[in-house]
């Protein structure tokens, strides 16, 4: 039953995309290995790199594109028979998400309900998240997980629902995965750890991300 629902939902997402959006998703997951700018160019949107970067950023905030990319990544991993390199890429992507995602990517402090500009601010925030309506708990605003990329979604360890009271609108308590632990594992995966030595905790997450991105760009040009 779950498989039927998944296949039906997956097909609905695919049909909602334009041909160009589908090509973008295919290139992003496949040959371009997560390079959004290159995927835009290869999909035929534009050859201007600056414009391509903007379009890629916009595409990667659209709910149907986010869902399609998740589906394609799952299909690619399964089709490979959980090939070692595919699994390695999945681990790297998840660890990068934990290292680079902050709580403020998911939770926002809300303007007062009495603020005359509150509606405009909520609309602007929704637009930034691909049109996804924000979960409004009064003082706190949450981005629904359907509007999060695999990377950001994977950075969340757990949610806890806070029930509303007469003095509070309630809300969600969010616990994130430990970015330092993720950085250590990522350092091992990308080869920044010396043999028979502990991971150098002085290596900053930013340096690790630069190393991973450099390797990804090299792979893309092959």
Instruction: Note whether residue 93 is domain-resident.
Output: no
Q: Give per-residue pLDDT as tens, 147-192.
A: 677 777 778 887 777 777 777 666 677 788 888 888 887 777 666 6
Q: What is the C-alpha to C-alpha distance for residues 115 and 176, in angstroms, rounded to an integer?
A: 30
**Range(s) of the domain holding residue 160:** 103-176
- pTM of the entire predicted model: 0.52
Q: Parallel, antiparallel, or unpaired: how do β-strands 140-142 and 107-109 relate?
A: antiparallel
Instruction: Note whether residue 112 is domain-resident.
Output: yes
Q: Do 59 and 118 sit in the same domain of this protein?
A: no
Predicted confidence at residue 3, as pLDDT, reads: 61
Last residue of a domain, one of 79, 114, 135: 79
Q: Residues 93, 150: contact at Cβ < 8 Å? A: yes
Q: Do 140 and 73 sit in the same domain of this protein?
A: no
Instruction: Note whether residue 97 is domain-resident.
Output: no
Instruction: Note whether residue 220 is domain-resident.
Output: no
Predicted confidence at residue 201, as pLDDT, reads: 43
DSSP 64-83: HHHHHHHHHHHHHHHHTTS-
Q: Look up the CATH number of the domain holding residue 62.
A: 1.10.10.1400
The order of strands in the sheet holding 140-142 is 107-109, 140-142, 135-137
Q: Do 14 and 57 sit in the same domain of this protein?
A: yes
Instruction: Note whether residue 189 is domain-resident.
Output: no
Q: Do 21 and 56 sit in the same domain of this protein?
A: yes
Q: Do 109 and 74 sit in the same domain of this protein?
A: no
Predicted confidence at residue 75, as pLDDT, reads: 85
Q: Do 132 and 169 sit in the same domain of this protein?
A: yes
Q: Do 109 and 54 sit in the same domain of this protein?
A: no
Ranges of the chain with pLDDT below 50? 195-203
Instruction: Note whether residue 22 is domain-resident.
Output: yes
- Give Rg (Cα) of the chain: 19
* Number of domains, the chain: 2
Instruction: Note whether residue 198 is domain-resident.
Output: no
Instruction: Note whether residue 219 is domain-resident.
Output: no
Last residue of a domain, one of 176, 198, 217: 176
Bridge partners, residue 165, by sequence: 168
């Amino acid at each position: 039953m779950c498989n039927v629902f998944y296949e039906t939902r997956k097909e609905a997402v695919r049909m909602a995309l334009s041909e160009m959006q589908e090509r973008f998703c295919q290139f992003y997951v496949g040959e371009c290995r997560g390079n959004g700018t290159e995927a835009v160019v290869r999909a035929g949107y534009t050859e201007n790199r600056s414009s391509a970067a903007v379009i890629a950023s916009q595409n990667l905030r659209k709910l149907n594109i986010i869902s399609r990319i998740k589906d394609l990544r799952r299909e690619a991993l399964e089709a490979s028979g959980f090939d070692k390199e595919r699994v390695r890429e999945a681990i790297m992507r998840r660890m990068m998400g934990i290292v680079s995602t902050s709580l403020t990517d998911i939770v926002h402090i809300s303007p007062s309900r009495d603020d005359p500009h509150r509606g405009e601010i909520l609309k602007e925030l929704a637009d930034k998240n691909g049109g996804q309506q924000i979960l409004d708990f009064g003082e706190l605003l949450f981005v629904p997980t359907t509007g999060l990329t695999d990377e950001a979604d994977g950075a969340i360890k757990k949610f806890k629902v806070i029930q509303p009271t007469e003095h509070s609108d309630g809300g969600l308590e969010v616990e994130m995965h430990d970015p330092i632990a993720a950085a250590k594992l990522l350092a091992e995966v990308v080869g920044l750890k010396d043999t028979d030595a502990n991971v150098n905790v002085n290596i900053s997450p930013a340096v690790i991300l630069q190393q991973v991105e450099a390797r990804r760009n090299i792979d893309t040009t092959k």
